[in-house]
Structure 1
Amino acid sequence: MKASLLAGAGALTWGKSMAENPPQPLKGHVHHSVSRWCFGKISLEDLCRFSKEIGIESVELLGPEDWDTVKKFGLTCAMPSGPGGIAEGWNRVENHDHLVSESERYLAMIQAAGFSNMILMSGNRRGLSDEEGIENCVKGLQRILPLAEKLGITLCMELLNSKVDHKDYQCDHTAWGAELAGRLSSERFKLLYDIYHMQIMEGDVARTIRENIQYIGHFHTGGVPGRGEIDGGQELNYPFIIKLIVDLGYKGFIGQEFVPQRDPLTSLREAIHICDV
């Protein structure tokens, strides 16, 4: 009953938002995506319907059970979920057999669905040095990269902050991720650069993106501090950052991953126009 009530409320919110604010055409320089988990109070169908109306092309961070829904609305899933979790990832050799087996299964499903990325996590340090973590990730990822290359799917390891949200996470600095990408030396391994997380960890976002764009396969947004809306109520200049990304020739997706503090669909529409450079 609770789920149906929430879905009904989401439908009403969507209908009201569309009636009061008809879609405005976008400039077309950015491929827009939205992370499902941030909008969990709205049914997936309503989120897809609203996204399609306002020019979003993807709903991401979805498992196989939800892929048919996004495709039904003519959308893609720019970043499907992958095996493992934030704390238990590729930096532990003891995780490799399980992760390789599950990755092979996921990669086949992702390719069959017509998607082109899969998210990865490094895992927590738990005493590992940076060098040990990189070496272990290389060993594990080299076991699945040939299949990813064959299927045309890019493995994207996410950069997360270990200062506020994900204590002890290893892939918490761009330099660490770039070193891993350099050693793997494959166009099918990239970084998911989360602007929110990297602002917290290292700042200097514009220069870091410029110097590492060759290693970046996907972006996430979020307001700092607090991961709320990406408007003027937080410290990042998103129009400047997104224009830089576009000017660098990036052709992938920008995924909205903020947690709305106001009406979620109004905030989502505003975020898309902020990033419409």
Structure 2
Amino acid sequence: MAHYHRRELIKQLVAGGFAMGALPSLAATLPFSPKNETKLKNNIKHSVCRWTYGFMPLEQLCTTIKEIGFSAIDLVGPGDWATLKKHGIHSSMCNGAEISLTEGWNDPQYHGRLVDNYLKHIDLVADAGYQNLICFSGNRKGMDDATGLKYSSDGLKKIMSKAEKRGVTIIMELLNSKVDHKDYMCDHTAWGVELAKSIGSPNFKLLYDIYHMQIDEGDVIRTIQQSHPYIGHYHTGGVPGRHEIDESQELFYPAIIKSIVATGFKGYLAQEFIPVATDKVASLRKAISICDV
């Protein structure tokens, strides 16, 4: 019914002698429609996390995002890269080398296994033509942050020469330890920045997850402005709940994304919200529209 009224209104305006030049400004005031197909500005590179749309076959997700107007998927491992390449989709954040979120670089007992995994995956990522490979700090398990930072730095330094040589960026994700990932060590941007400084490689960066960092520290825009040289990737998510990033949650994403663009960031922003709306593709389409500043 709303679509019918909009259509009839435009017909009446044209019939009444309104200049065609007035119509774009009118259209800009109309409610968002999931079927709107607009050319993206692409001032930031768009992506979506595979797991949040895991209810959809990967082939279908590939065709869906191309219809929306972007061509990258986050958190896809080597086993699915052939499918991405078939559809001309980029793997914007590769995974598969990590052990788990809780068993990471802050614990020396895992260094041997992690070093082997990452050295192999760095070659896989580079040979496939990709650039980003995710990693995790692991949980504290009673360890103080200074010790965990030293252990993480010592372990990661063992793979950075290979990463630099192959043009692969190792990216550690910031996760909240208040709600979703209790005891996770890399739960504040300042800790991650100190780790990056300690490693001292241009091929080590942070994944600043806006959802997670709003929960654990807030002050999102200023943190991005101050820490952006150490950030190589971004994730979204509505707070609270990690659902759609629209007006139903507390963050104003257009301002946040504008602040990211203003830093000169040229990487990817991946949608990582769990859609709860009936039309989940419309939710993704709207999120891309919100972030396409």
TM-score of the superposed pair, with normalisation by structure 1: 0.92
1:112 matches 2:127: yes
Distance in structure 2 (CA, Å) of the matches to 1:241 and 1:57: 22
Q: CA deviation at 1:56?
A: 1.9
Q: Which residue of 1 aligns with 2:286?
A: 270
Amino acid at match of 1:275: C
Distance in structure 2 (CA, Å) of the matches to 1:122 and 1:175: 14
1:25 matches 2:39: yes
Distance in structure 1 (CA, Å) of the matches to 2:162 and 2:99: 18
Distance in structure 1 (CA, Å) of the matches to 2:202 and 2:89: 25
* Deviant stretches of 4+, over 2 Å: none
* Structure 1 alignment gaps of length 5 or more: 1-19
Q: Which residue of 2 aligns with 1:96?
A: 111
Q: Which residue of 1 aligns with 2:5?
A: none
Q: Structure 1, residues 250-273: CA drift from partner, whole Å, max 9, x if none?
A: 000000000001121110000000
Q: Which of 236, 239, 248 is the matching residue for 2:251?
A: 236
Instruction: Name the SS of the counterpart of 1:223 in structure 2.
Output: coil
Q: CA deviation at 1:47?
A: 0.5
Q: Structure 1, residues 179-222: CA drift from partner, whole Å, max 9, x if none?
A: 00011111100000000000000000000010000000000000
How many corresponding residue pairs? 259
Identity, in percent, stands at: 53
Distance in structure 1 (CA, Å) of the matches to 2:247 and 2:56: 25
Q: Structure 1, residues 238-261: CA drift from partner, whole Å, max 9, x if none?
A: 000001100110000000000001
Alignment of 1:43-192 (within 5 A): 43-81=57-95, 82-192=97-207
Q: Which residue of 2 aligns with 1:220?
A: 235
Instruction: Name the SS of the counterpart of 1:169 in structure 2.
Output: coil
Instruction: Name the SS of the counterpart of 1:78 in structure 2.
Output: strand
Q: Structure 1, residues 57-89: CA drift from partner, whole Å, max 9, x if none?
A: 211101111111111111101101132210000
Distance in structure 1 (CA, Å) of the matches to 2:205 and 2:178: 23
Q: Which residue of 1 aligns with 2:274?
A: 259
RMSD, matched Cα? 1.1
Instruction: Name the SS of the counterpart of 2:187 in structure 1.
Output: coil
Instruction: Name the SS of the counterpart of 1:79 in structure 2.
Output: strand
TM-score of the superposed pair, with normalisation by structure 2: 0.87
Instruction: Name the SS of the counterpart of 1:193 in structure 2.
Output: strand
Q: Which residue of 2 aligns with 1:201?
A: 216
Amino acid at match of 1:24: T
* Structure 2 alignment gaps of length 5 or more: 1-33
Instruction: Name the SS of the counterpart of 1:161 in structure 2.
Output: coil
Question: Which entry has the higher C-alpha Rg, 1 or 2?
Answer: 2
Q: Is the 8 A contact 1:32 1:55 kept in 2?
A: no
